[in-house]
Amino acid sequence: MRQPARIAVIAGILLIPFTPTPLSARISHGPDPFHGGRAGSAAVRDSSSVSEALVPVMPRVVTVRKTGTGKVAETTALPDGPGGSAGPVLAEAARFRSRSVAVLRSTQHNANWMVRLVHRKHGPGVLEILPPPLDPQSVPVVQYGVRAPKQIEAVLAGADIDGDGEDELVVLRRAGKKGDALEFRRIGFDPIYPDICPGMARTQKFPGKIRAAAGIQYDADPEDELAVVTSDGALSIYDVTLTGTVPPNVPCEFTPIPSTPLAPATAVLTLAASDPEFDDSNGRTLSLCGVDMDLNGVEELGGLHRTGNGLQALRIYEPPQAVGGSAILLADDPGFGGTGGKHRALSMSCTR
């Protein structure tokens, strides 16, 4: 595969200053972290006053919805308990132009970014990177775009599969009857010149179609594990091991283009835990995300599900603990989409 050509980005766009939304912030005293207002709220102080501590900001859900006039990406909190609610829309990006969204974390830059896949009538689609709509005052502006080969069906999530603190982009590759695979792409999270690199690694083909996948910090090693729901309705949690030649972790614009392009490395998946009845119990999965809902350093699993009658539910689970186990429901919003004035949800991703 040749190096994807860069899409021209209007120079003016690159000059728009982007203030990353922090993953953590210094506060002068301790608000209730679970109900402590939106990310970057007024409770956050940069002053050197009393007893400062570094606390994570609350995770957020970014959801793509289909409205009467197009698609919109909007941000909410997580559901607040079983039978609960994700609460009001905190911020949104109109004219979103993508069915799928992936939110990615950079610990080095203390920020979340968002990637979408814009299909075009003629020619290949475009992967675009932009800040997520976390702040009502922000206007998410595309910072960079790169052509997407036609096999790329959707962007799914972020997953730090090499454990360097920076999420890789997880994309769904669909090759007709040959089956689905997941591809991982490094992202350059530079606040001024972000970058979406060529494929770094791919999984083997899955036996069935992939409905959803996301990185989740499931165990004690620094790498993320991978949660995948396949068309048989099973949820699987995999350890990911990279084999073959992994491209160096340098800004991809500096990566020399070899005369014979390197094949992506292979991401070998080893099953660590599963819930074979996941979709039977919870509704067809549309999206997954890894998210630490109670800020205890261990990630829970978020799922967007189609639950019948055109409804969608947003659910948060404790992931299964063994192969053949069960995900345990911790919180949900049964009316998250398709009801009560809430437009149909197409996909979601979470800040981490």
The sign of the torsion formed by the CA atoms of 121, 71, 154, 283 equals: negative
Least distance from Ca ion to the Cβ atom of residue 195, Å = 14
Residue 166 binds Ca ion (CB under 5 A): yes
- With b for 16 or more beta-carbon neighbours within 10 A and e for fewer, the 302-325 pattern comes to bbbbbbeeebbbbbbbebbeeeee
The DSSP element (H or E) to which 242 belongs, if any, is strand 235-243
DSSP 136: T
Nearer to Ca ion, 286 or 330 (CB): 330
Residue 318 binds Ca ion (CB under 5 A): no
Residue 296 binds Ca ion (CB under 5 A): yes
292, 317, 335, 349: which one binds Ca ion (CB under 5 A): 292
Least distance from Ca ion to the Cβ atom of residue 248, Å = 12
The candidate with the shortest Cα–Cα distance to 79, out of 111, 42, 34, is 34
Nearer to Ca ion, 212 or 301 (CB): 301
CB 239 within 8 A of CB 218: no
Residue 219 binds Ca ion (CB under 5 A): yes
Structure tokens given for 141: 């502006």
Residue 74 binds Ca ion (CB under 5 A): no
List phi, psi (to 5°) of 273: -165, 160
Structure tokens given for 88: 């009001």
CA dihedral 108, 43, 76, 130 (to 10 degrees): -40
The candidate with the shortest Cα–Cα distance to 60, out of 45, 41, 75, is 75
Residue 298 binds Ca ion (CB under 5 A): yes
Residue 69 binds Ca ion (CB under 5 A): no
Least distance from Ca ion to the Cβ atom of residue 165, Å = 7
Residue 195 binds Ca ion (CB under 5 A): no
46, 221, 232, 253: which one binds Ca ion (CB under 5 A): 221
Binding footprint of Ca ion, residue count (CB under 5 A): 10
Nearer to Ca ion, 166 or 279 (CB): 166
Residue 270 binds Ca ion (CB under 5 A): no
Binding site for Ca ion (CB under 5 A): 160, 162, 164, 166, 219, 221, 292, 294, 296, 298
